[in-house]
Structure 1
Amino acid sequence: MNHKILKTLEFHKILDKLQSFAATSLGKAWATELQPSGDLDEVKRRLTATDEAVKVERIKGAAPFGGIRDVRPSVKRAKIGGLLNPAELLDTANTLNGGRRLKRFILQMAEDHELTLLADKAAQVMDLKDLADSILAKINEHAEVMDSASQELARIRQELRTGEARIREKLEQMIRTPSTQKMLQDPIITIRNDRYVIPVKQEYRSSIGGMIHDQSASGATLFMEPQAVVQLNNRLRELSFKEEREIEKILGMLTAEVAEAADEIAFNLDILAELDFIFAKAGLAREFKATLPLMNDRGFLKIKKGRHPLIAADAVVPLDVELGNQFQSIIITGPNTGGKTVTLKTIGLLSLMAMSGLFVPAEDSSQLCVFDGIFADIGDEQSIEQSLSTFSSHMTNIISILKEMTPKSLVLLDEVGAGTDPAEGSALAISILEAIHRLGCRMVATTHYSELKAYAYERKGIVNASMEFDVQTLSPTYRLLVGVPGRSNAFAIAERLGLDKKIIDHARSQVGADDQRVESMIATLEENRLSAEAERKSAEQLNAEVAALRQQLEKERSRMEQQRSQLLAKAEQQAEEAVKKARQEAEQIIRELRQMAMEERSSIKEHKLIEAKRKLDEAVPQLDKKPVSGSRSGSKARAIEPGDEVLVRSLGQKGHVVELSGDKEVTVQLGIMKMKIAKTDLEKISAAPVKPVQQKTAVTGLKRSRDESVRSELDLRGNNIEDSIIEVDRFLDESFLANLHQVYIIHGKGTGVLRQGIQDYLRKHRLVKSFRFGTYGEGGNGVTVVEL
């Protein structure tokens, strides 16, 4: 990419902002060297990496780059035999551990989210934990070699501490002695030239004795090493030299380990630098509120609400522009200070950012193209040194562009043909634009010349555009209007400012009729555009209101559905409770019937049976149901005929319809009982013809004679004891109510467990007089004969 275009479009300012988001000097270096790419695949790879970093920051926050330093100079020096100091070794260990933390962070994120490129980069970071641990085991966080670095160092330092303590003890004894105190300037112990000394007054130098290491500025105080501690100080010096040699030995060993892993460390640093750079791009996207652009190499641009990233957010006007589909070139006309130059720079700078793998400050789904070159002639580049005029400077740039451009280039021209005679300048501008357009480049050009409006109108593939100007406020709105050529607005502005109307009318008369018609046509186009835009905004507002109303109705419907579900659930619960209660009452009534039957044995008073039947009727839950027209239950209730098999819902019992008792009730045979049941409480099961049971009286509720449907034997073979006892109890009740005096229970011989269990139960049953095994011909021991 031409470096001149990067400077013209101020791409270096974007890189400066990008550097500020890099966490390390490694990433800053990458940001400084960033260049746009003309390879579509490479651009997509860069943008994908940025998109993954944006995803990580959105979900987990900033990536951990703490502790990572650029230790390449230290590693290089170690590799050629230099000795690293403790601080350099500590930075190396922290960098290795920082790389491991970053790798773990990214790979953990990649387990739940798609981070193909970042995960691949992070996986390449080599694990040099052993080297980092080895360094940190000998050097502490203050970049000091620890005593535990070696046994020899620990011994030497222990001797040093002991020697220092002995020297201090001797000197403290001296300065506490009254005779010595009067010779001292201050009763303190200090250090000069790495030796312990005391401050002695000048006149007592011979009284103390020893070596003088320093004196005060006035000469009144001498810092003397008493003879009593000279040997001890000498020993400390020897130990200090030993300590330095041991530390140097330890640092040499650690430096050798770093040198051995120098290539791996350098490789890790390259990966960490790129990762820091990628996350810096994510930070820049957050700063600019930028989005991922769609990229192509077909020369197509569609920028939606694009913003110049170097203009303050509260001052920038979003740009909507499309190029490369219906037209390849845009000619922007109109007065100065309308924003034409900013429009050119926005298109060029956003293209450079996208080609560099950066998100662009525009709405989602904006499309940009990968050009093989972007060329621009923008601004006044007059050169005094070269004695070039403004026109000459522009022509020099344009000539260079014409030589270098290709069909896959983007050309941005500001005020083409300006700086010379208007007639010649407009003709030259048309020729230049025609040459660029004929080559097939994508081009955006600005101009003052009205002749270019007609050229753009007549030439296929070129479209007029202008920067909107508000005549009422006499100020530009900085909005690009594609399809509408610009107006000079000179007469309107002059009139608004108060110029005499006669002068304005005279000026209008000097303008040619064709020019006036063109201006009138442009004014009409602009009025139609404003009207259409107002209608569009009104339609958008109506659509928004309809969408809001639809959303509100959907919420209301959801709320009603939820209330309906809750009411249905509550009704079902109440119904279950009612049925449960009804069954309990029915069982109580049956128990009372049994009790009455046992008490009166041979006969049951009719009024008691009627009373029991009434209680059963009252036990049926009276649910307040509203029949739905055409419902399944209603159709079945109306279709019930005598002989049909039905289910009584409230009792959960099956029976047969005996007769119809009016429009709302039917008489149903339930085992040995006949009951009047409401039709709405019945569900038809089958319509098999059943001969209705004839009744002698109209109010008989219970048939006391033997019912033909009651069997005199019960076969329990294959059942378990629990189920068999339930069956036996029901069988004995029905047999007793049917006036059977002898019944047969078939249990088989088998192991005898079932037989024994049944007979144990019969011994305690209240209806059983006696029981015995069957005789020959009755089943023998496989049958128990029961007398009721």
Structure 2
Amino acid sequence: MDVSAATLDKLSFPRVREALAERAGTFMGMERARTLAPFASVAEAEAALERVEEIVTGGDLALGGIEDVRPMLRRVREGNLLEGSEILSIAYTLDAAATLRRAIVASERPALTQVALGIGSFDGVLRLVREQLDPDGNVRDDATPKLADIRRRLNPLRGRIRDRLTRLLESYADYVQDPIITLRRDRYVIPVKAHLQSRVPGLALDRSDSGATVFVEPAGVVELNNELALLEMEERDEVRRVLLALGRRLADEPRVDESLEVVAELDLVNASARLAKEWRLRRPLFDERGRVRLLQARHPLIEGCVPNDIELDAERRLLIVTGPNAGGKTVLIKTLGLAAVMAQCGLFVAAGGEQPPLLPRVNALLVDIGDEQSIEASLSTYAGHLRNLKAIVERADERTLVLIDELGSGTDPDEGAALSQAILERVLAGGARGLVTTHLAPLKVFASETEGVSNAAMRFDVERLQPTYQLIVGQPGRSYALAIAERLGLPEGLLARAAELLGPEGERLEALLATLERQREQLEEELGEARAANERAVAEARLLREQIEMLRGREQELIKAAAEKADELLQETLQQAARLRRVAQQDPAQRSKALEEIQALRRQARQVAASEPGGARPVRPQREKRRAERQEDPFAPGARVRVESYGAEGQVIEQRGNALLVQLGLLKVEVPKRDVKPLGQPKATSRQTHVAAPVAFDRELNIRGARVEEALEQVRDFVLEAHSLKVESVRLLHGKGTGALRDAVRNYLKGEKLVERYEDAVPYEGGHGVTVAYLRY
């Protein structure tokens, strides 16, 4: 889409860029965000939107450990030598980029995978760096055979020098200032009292600030120091050669520059997803028929902005918006313009509603907003507007979106209205769509009489003398000048004279608009009451259904309880009758009495049966137990499943053909059924849920300087406490140092079942000196 830099500035798009940059995780991503511009084609914008959608629904990307190493690579290519720590930074960044690539490919996100495949594989050069440099960036002894030989000879030589100097210190004990061996000019020396320097044969290489001590290289170690100096020069040359070779190997690695560009692009997509979630943005769709449908659209940069519905189609290609100053007209057209630019940049837009936002497929966005006055160019405000309008008229077609603010202002109203109508006719004939704001009454008439054009107004509350910023489509707006003047208490005679000067036509138009506004407000009030009544009826019907279901459930409970009670009584009666029969058979004396009791039990049973509702016989619980239970679907909503591709367990929310929508913690993902393993139905839980009391918990643990055993004990307790408090992630501050503490901490985290994964912090939050651990629940 063709959009000028001036247009982007008028639409406040640089502020959107800055908001993206603030959410980027790398300096490269920040640069990309600050230079973001609309894509040339809609296909590119749709691909970018798909990538953002995959992150919004699938979770953020892990960009920890990635630095901007491009300046270091430039220095290498210019022939400069890098320090070992700088070479490690490049290697760590390439390693993190390759890890990011593997993670995206494994997550089965097609749009992101297509981009991530542009990151190269650097296993060979990374292995070489690890072999030749230690974790602090120092060249290892075994980096090359020559270096290994040099360092094998260096240490014994230094030992011989120190041994000889130790003996000399004993020999010259009366002449030395302190019995120590030190270095001056990279040569071993001993400190000698200045006034006794002649007693110690050798070379004076330095003296103390006070002048009381002279640092002497005794003659007995001069040859050894010379040999040491030659070996150290050879060592420095070999180390320099190793560092130069490593730097050149990294800089010449195929696809290294392309990989950094891809990382920057992925960082921008990640920042776009964060912006969408924080600003409550929605993914737009591009419409081939040129329709605009932004329901509950708002300006994302204005806090508390009143949402409005903006809709354009074949029957309503131009919307003429009128109303008082400061009523929200300019904000409205900037809302549409900014939404169009953001969508073409692959960003979500600020809109709501049940239906997704629709924006037209356009090749150009043409605007005339703000004061175009230029003293240097000898342009008046109106001349500046005409220059913009000339470009709009020349380029307006069916692939153009037009936004014009205050059309016809800055000149004679009659001439301005005539020229403005001619411009709108030309724009309409070209097939363009757009929004136009104006105060000119003839344009209101033009909108009401012309096919494809509609009136709209920004509502104003005359009683409170303030705008409501609500868009009303289908009705022209009023200026409210006389109404506001009357509310402010201007003299009646002055108002009457103003009405007289306005003329009968103008007065009738204002009266007509006022009547239309009152009728519309009355209709909206009645519609609101009807909607409220409908909502109440729906709510009451829902309540009745719930009560009926509750009563039915209670009825079943009562029937079941009665059946169980009846079954219990029946069993007791049968047992008592059997006992009486045994008595009658075994004891002739008690036979008469036993028979009478049996007759009494029969009468009692008939009375109980007659008291049952409808005379129905109770269904015994044993009979209910024999009913075949329905075989439940293992993937029914609510079932617990394990998603193998994510390595996590969750609950099924919805079945979508051969796919399932699964809730994994705070994340909802759609996965194929073949990747899901059923775990059974969730267990019933008590209605009373225990909620842990909020506890102030510091998510960062500082273990710098601690011994490995002590640090691991602290980390173990820290992770256990964080897990019990349902903390999502923690930061372990171990510093860089030799890397021993970092490796120990990561080895522990690798085997800790409470930890799902871990990674380096982003560069500006500690980089390699901080490990971020994500806990498993």
What TM-score results when the alignment is normalised by the length of structure 2? 0.70
1:389 to 368, 380, 383: 380
Q: Which residue of 2 aligns with 1:455?
A: 446
Secondary structure of the corresponding residue to residue 328 of structure 1: strand
> Which of 295, 301, 313 is the equivalent residue of 1:310?
301
Aligned to 1:740: none
Give the Å deviation of 1:252. Answer: 6.1
Among 497, 502, 511, which residue is 1:506 paired with?
Answer: 497
2:561 and 2:258 map into 1 onto residues whose CA distance is 69
Residue 361 of structure 2 is aligned to residue 340 of structure 1: no
Structure 1 residues 621 and 469: CA distance shift in structure 2, 3 A: same
Q: Alignment partner for residue 412 of structure 1, among 396, 403, 414? A: 403
Structure 1: distance between partners of 2:218 and 2:322: 95
CA shift in 2, pair 1:503/1:47, >3 Å = same
Match of 1:226 in 2: 218
> Which moves more between the two structures, 141-150 or 412-421?
141-150
Does the C-alpha gap of structure 1 residues 389 and 565 become closer, same or farther in structure 2, counting only changes over 3 Å?
same
CA distance in 1, matches of 2:555, 2:121: 62
More divergent stretch after superposition (16-25 vs 159-168):
159-168
Distance 2:560 2:149 in 1: 83
Paired amino acid for 1:11: F
Q: Counterpart of 2:741?
A: none
Alpha carbons 1:295, 1:369 under 8 Å: kept = yes
Which of 129, 144, 151 lines up with 1:135 in the alignment? 129
Are the equivalent residues in 1 in contact too, given 2:397–2:427 (CA < 8 A)? Answer: no
Could you tell me how far 1:329 is from its partner in structure 2?
0.8
Larger radius of gyration: 1
Deviation at 1:99, TM superposition (A): 2.8
Q: CA, structure 1 residues 651+590, in 2 after alignment: closer, same or farther (shift >3 Å)?
A: farther
**Aligned-pair distance for 1:104?**
4.3
Aligned position for 1:757: none
- Counterpart-to-counterpart distance in 2, 1:427 and 1:88: 68
* 1:696-723 C-alpha deviation (Å, 9 max, x unpaired): xxxxxxxxxxxxxxxxxxxxxxxxxxxx
Note if contact 1:377-1:413 (Cα within 8 Å) is conserved in structure 2: yes
- Residue 490 of structure 1 aligns with an amino acid whose one-letter code is A
In the alignment, is the contact (CA less than 8 A) between 1:353 and 1:360 conserved in 2?
yes
Partner in structure 2 of residue 117 of structure 1: 111
> Alignment partner for residue 535 of structure 1, among 514, 526, 533?
526
> What do you get for the CA RMSD once the two structures are aligned?
4.0
Identify if the C-alpha distance between structure 1 residues 524 and 622 changes in structure 2 by more than 3 Å, giving closer, same or farther.
Answer: same
Q: In structure 1, which of residues 80, 83, 86 is the aligned counterpart of residue 84 of structure 2?
A: 86
CA deviations over 1:190-209 (Å, ceiling 9, x no partner): 43332334454543433344
Asked if structure 2 preserves the Cα contact closer than 8 Å seen for 1:39 and 1:370, the reply is: no
- Which one scores higher on RCO, CA 8 angstroms, separation ≥ 6? 2
- 365, 371, 382: which one pairs with 2:362? 371
Q: What is the aligned partner in structure 2 of residue 247 from structure 1? A: 239
Give the SS at the match of 1:263: coil
Q: Which one-letter code corresponds to 1:347 in the other structure?
A: L
Equivalent residue, structure 2, for 1:712: none
d(CA) in 1 for partners of 2:152, 2:180: 25
Over 3 Å counting, the alpha-carbon distance change for 1:617 and 1:421 in structure 2 is closer
CA contact 2:30–2:268 (8 Å) conserved in 1: yes
Equivalent residue for 1:362, pick from 337, 343, 351: 351
Structure 1 residue runs without a partner (length 5+) = 635-647, 653-788
SS in 2 for 1:214: strand
Tell me the residue number matched to 1:193. 185
CA distance in 1, matches of 2:34, 2:214: 59
Deviations 1:710-755 (A, max 9, x none): xxxxxxxxxxxxxxxxxxxxxxxxxxxxxxxxxxxxxxxxxxxxxx
1:522 is aligned, of 493, 513, 530, to: 513
Structure 1 pair 335–200 and aligned structure 2 pair: CA distance change class (3 A): farther
Return the offset for 1:414.
Answer: 1.7
Aligned equivalent of 1:10: 12
Q: Deviations over 1:15-63 (max 9, x none)?
A: 2222222222343344344332364433322212111111123xxxx32
Counterpart selection for 2:51 from 49, 52, 56: 49
The aligned residue for residue 349 of structure 1 is 338
Equivalent residue number for residue 145 of structure 1: 139
Tell me, in whole angstroms, the C-alpha distance in 2 between the residues paired with 1:125 and 1:650: 67
Assess if the C-alpha contact under 8 Å between 1:321 and 1:482 holds in 2.
no
If the length of structure 1 is used for normalisation, what is the TM-score?
0.69
Change in 2 beyond 3 A, CA 1:166/1:381: farther
Contact 2:580 2:595 in 1 (8 A): no
Relative to structure 1, the CA distance from residue 463 to residue 585 in structure 2 (aligned partners, 3 Å threshold; closer, same or farther) is: same
Structure 1 pair 199–286 and aligned structure 2 pair: CA distance change class (3 A) = farther
Instruction: Name the CA distance, whole Å, in 1 between partners of 2:163 and 2:172.
Output: 16
- State the secondary structure of the residue aligned to 2:254: helix
Paired residues of 2:421 and 2:443 also in contact (CA < 8 A): yes
Q: Deviations over 1:213-256 (max 9, x none)?
A: 33456655544333344344334333423433443454466557
Aligned mates of 1:19, 1:84 — CA distance in 2: 29
Q: % of aligned pairs identical?
A: 37
AA partner of residue 61 (structure 2): A
Structure 1 residues 480 and 238: CA distance shift in structure 2, 3 A:
same
TM superposition shift of 1:355: 1.6
The range that moved more, 90-99 or 197-206, is: 197-206
**Change in CA separation of 1:348 and 1:605 when aligned onto 2, cut-off 3 Å:** closer
Q: CA 1:239/1:589 → structure 2, altered by over 3 Å: closer, same or farther? A: farther
For structure 2, which runs of at least 5 residues remain unmatched after alignment? 624-777
Query: Aligned-pair distance for 1:6?
Result: 2.3
Q: What's the counterpart of residue 63 of structure 2? A: 65
Cα-to-partner distance string for 1:91-128 (whole Å, 9 max, x where unaligned): 34323332343244434543xxxx33124444665554
Aligned counterparts of 1:650 and 1:279: Cα–Cα separation in 2 = 59
Give how far 1:434 is off. Answer: 1.3
Rounded to whole Å, the distance in 2 between the matches of 1:323 and 1:614 is 89
Tell me what 1:640 maps to: none
**Matched-pair contact (CA < 8 Å) for 1:471–1:492:** yes
Pair 1:6–1:176, CA change in 2 (3 A): farther
